[in-house]
Amino acid sequence: MKALTFKRYGKSPEIGITEVPRPALKPDEMLVQVHAAGLNPIDNMIPTGMFKPVLHFQLPAVLGSDLAGVVTEVGSNVTRFKPGDAVFASIFDLGTGAIAEYAVVPERAAALKPENLDFVQAASIPMVALTSWQALKERANLQAGQKVFIPAGSGGIGTFAIQLAKYLGAKVGTTTSTGNVDLVRSLGADEVVDYKKQEFETVLRDYDAVLGTTRGDSIEKSLAILKPGSRIVSLVGPLDAAFARRKRLNFVLRFVFGLMSRKIMRLARQRDVSYSFLFVRPDGSQLAAISKLLETGQIKPVIDKVFPFNQAKNALAYLAQGRSKGKVVVKM
């Protein structure tokens, strides 16, 4: 089968469409014919080797985590799905990839595709939806009436997280460029800071949570807008020792990640704020709950651009520019 792979880590990963063996199934897995695959920023980071200590691939490795497609075969222990079912899933951190003609999906990672979405729309959802759900509902325990800051509101994560936060009853602050102000307001953002004109930390006040989505010093700056007792959940780092323990990494990595997060931990404690790094996990039951919100129109997918499979490498390059409004999807 054809798949988008990378052959090595580093500056020359040799990303391209190649022939790879069709994967074999374990008893709890399904073979899915992929109709569309959603792209995420980490798809560009993985070939650099940035996450090599915590994400393990056998090279050459298939890229991508998000998919929507049709089940063609099921393992002997699979009970919730059958051949012919339309599904969507994230297979992030499972050692395999989604930008391929076929993908192996554990039963626990999949959910039935929302009936009102086509495959391209459904493929845009899994990672941003699960990340937003696990960050806002589980980690931050966001409650109705609270305020959450979600920077980069027009991006893939931002466009979904704003809508989920509004569904949870929260007030949302975000940053975006001048041209995207109307977009993020249409998604429900209450306070919008045009980062080309103002610094968010000089405008926003009394927030209960921050979803860290942008690199640089924005995590440290966000401390200035938080109430005591608030929470920062970062998707971009620095990685912390608690994450290393959850991943069961060795003592050296626990120590290294502890050093990496030492400064933000110290600054957070000084303001009575908690900090944690979040690595999304596949979860079909959460996707099923999110599917209901999509089917009722309470949350809608936001897609910037769709590329054909033979231009999947170009799709990654386009995503890397960091200017997409919503998600970038590859259609098989």
The pLDDT tens digits for 191-250 are 999 998 999 999 999 999 999 888 778 899 999 999 999 999 999 878 888 888 887 888
- State the alpha helices, DSSP H only, in 60-115: none
- By CB atoms closer than 10 A (0-12, 13-18, 19+), residue 143 is exposed
- State the alpha helices, DSSP H only, in the chain: 42-45, 119-123, 126-133, 156-167, 181-187, 218-222, 241-246, 251-260, 262-270, 284-295, 312-320
Return the pLDDT at 149: 97
Distance CA(226)–CA(92), nearest Å, equals 31
pLDDT > 70 in the chain, percent: 100
Tokens (6 digits) for 104: 């192996």
- Using an 8 Å Cβ cutoff, are 208 and 230 in contact? yes
Q: Is 109 helix (H, G, I), strand (E, B) or coil?
A: helix
- Entry pTM: 0.94
β 226-234/303-308 pair status: unpaired
Return the pLDDT at 136: 97
Average pLDDT, the chain: 94
Return the pLDDT at 268: 86
- The residue that leads in pLDDT, 261 or 295, is 295
Count Cβ atoms below 10 Å from residue 106 Cβ, excluding itself: 18
- By CB atoms closer than 10 A (0-12, 13-18, 19+), residue 263 is exposed
Q: What is the pLDDT of residues 77-126, one digit of tens each?
A: 999 999 999 999 999 999 899 999 999 999 999 999 999 999 999 999 99
Return the pLDDT at 50: 82
User: Binning pLDDT at 50, 70 and 90, where does residue 257 land?
Assistant: confident
- Using an 8 Å Cβ cutoff, are 126 and 90 in contact? yes
Bridge partners (DSSP) listed for residue 234: 212, 277
Average pLDDT over residues 154-176: 97
Return the pLDDT at 124: 98
Q: CA 4, 56, 94, 75 torsion: positive or negative?
A: positive
Q: CA 177, 327, 159, 237 torsion: positive or negative?
A: negative
Return the pLDDT at 259: 83
- The residue that leads in pLDDT, 239 or 324, is 324
Distance CA(200)–CA(202), nearest Å, equals 5
Return the pLDDT at 215: 78
Return the pLDDT at 137: 96
For the ranges 42-51, 66-75, 124-133, 299-308, which has the lowest average pLDDT?
42-51
* Angle CA 155–37–237, to nearest 5: 45
Q: CA 303, 44, 129, 331 torsion: positive or negative?
A: positive
Query: Is 255's pLDDT higher than 80?
Result: yes
Bridge partners (DSSP) listed for residue 73: 31
Average pLDDT over residues 28-57: 93
Return the pLDDT at 238: 81
Q: CB-side exposure of 29: number of CA atoms within 13 Å?
A: 13
Domains and their CATH numbers in the chain = 2-125+301-331 (3.90.180.10), 128-277 (3.40.50.720)
Q: What is the pLDDT of residues 171-183, one digit of tens each?
A: 999 999 999 999 9
Q: What is the pLDDT of residues 123-149, one digit of tens each?
A: 999 999 999 999 999 999 999 999 999
